Amino acid sequence: MASWAASSTHARSQPARPAAGGLPFNSGWIVPRPQHRALIRQRVGLTYDQAQARKVADEVIRTEAAAKNDPADLINTALEKLVETGLELPAFSTLDAMASALRAEVNTVICGGIYEWLSEAHRERLLKLLTERGPDGKTLFNRLKQSAELASWSHFKNLAKHLAWVDGLGDSAVWLQEVAAGKVTAGHPRGTPRRR
């Protein structure tokens, strides 16, 4: 027991020894944070230019937001491009905020384009969905979101009537012809459901 205590005391009293080759600077063992970051960037081969990194991420996210709707997909695409260009990655919160803002911007432009495709009669008909109420007291917009019930012949007939009513609102294929397929979702928050 005494030999272990003596050896541990001896080990604590000795200065730490550098790895083979020593350190590339003469500031002792405590490395200032900026110098430490610079050494890591040099070792990994990254360039620290946050303004350029945000510019690259902005361009990629803006371009991809026209075809993709999920912010995680937009962020991943931006990360791939930043790694490819050799720039140090911005904080995740920066990319998350950029993806949300740029996605909203692009979606606003897309919705504006759809609005331009609508005739005045179609615009009025769609606006009535928000104001007119059905027999159940809910707006007709809620009726759009009606989901299918359990499989039965009467439920199928009701669903066919509902589909005919939705189709009567107008030709959505014409309204959405300029929108990328990835932006037109089919009832699933991330587009088509994933298979397991």
* Residue span of the structural domain in which 145 resides: 119-183
One domain for residues 82 and 132: no
| Percent of residues, the chain, with pLDDT higher than 70 | 78
Residue 97 falls inside a structural domain:
yes
Query: 87 pairs with which residues across the strands?
Result: 47
Is the predicted pLDDT of residue 145 greater than 50, yes or no?
yes
Rounded to an integer, the average pLDDT of 39-63 is 90
Q: 85, 117, 149 — which closes off a domain?
A: 117
Burial 76-94 (b: 16+ CB within 10 A, else e): ebbbebbeeeebbebeeee
Instruction: Decide if 29 is inside a domain.
Output: no
Distances (CA, A) of 65 to 2, 128, 147, 167, 183: 68, 30, 28, 28, 9
Which residue, chain included where needed, has tokens 């083979």?
20
Same domain, 101 and 132: no
Residue 44 is assigned to a structural domain of this protein: yes
Q: Does residue 45 sit in the same domain as residue 90?
A: yes
Inform me whether the pLDDT recorded for 77 exceeds 90. Answer: yes
Phi/psi at 168 (5° precision): -70, -15
139 shares a domain with 87: no
Q: Same domain, yes or no, for 152 and 165?
A: yes
101-127 confidence digits (pLDDT tens):
999 999 999 988 888 888 898 889 888
HSE value, Cβ hemisphere, 13 Å, CA-based, for 19: 2
* 98 and 128 within one domain: no
Distance CA 90, CA 81 (A): 12
> Is the residue at 76 inside a domain?
yes
Residue 100 has a pLDDT of 94
> What is the count of structural domains for the chain?
2
